[in-house]
Amino acid sequence: MSKALDRLPAEFVEHLENVSVVIEETPDPDLLASVGLDPDDPEDVLFGLYEGVPLTERHHDDVLLPDQITIFWRPLLEWAESEDEVVEEVRVTVLHEIGHFFGLDEDRLDELGYA
């Protein structure tokens, strides 16, 4: 995990003071369903999740809990064929979730190569 986080661009990291990155084994079925994935479909996998209020939706007087990015390690390990692939996919997944923190949608993240 730290190998992947060490590879994040500094200009992103400096804005993540109030964002925690946590690791969990797998997303539970209810979580998968809540993001539009079928828990019974092995093709529907979730490597990461951003939870919080994107910067573009905040107001100066908002009092908010810290944002959280969760990385799900078991789907990553089942997908990857090498340690290098795991490190790279964690990096891309964290960048994808940081993109949501900055207010980017799935289409824009895809354009940037973080889908």
Q: What is the pTM of this model?
A: 0.82
Ordered by start, the domain boundaries in the chain are 2-111
CA distance 69 to 32: 15
How far apart are the C-alpha atoms of 19 and 16, rounded to whole Å? 5
Q: Which of 111, 66, 112, 71 is nearest to 91 (CA)?
A: 71
The DSSP call for residue 57 is: G
Assess contact for 45 and 77: CB atoms under 8 A: no
Select the CATH number that applies to the domain covering 2-111 from these four: 3.30.420.40, 3.30.70.2740, 3.30.2010.20, 3.40.920.10: 3.30.2010.20
Per-residue pLDDT tens digits of the chain, which is 115 residues long: 666 667 777 777 777 778 888 999 999 999 999 999 999 999 999 999 999 988 888 888 877 788 999 999 999 999 999 999 998 898 889 888 888 988 999 899 889 887 7
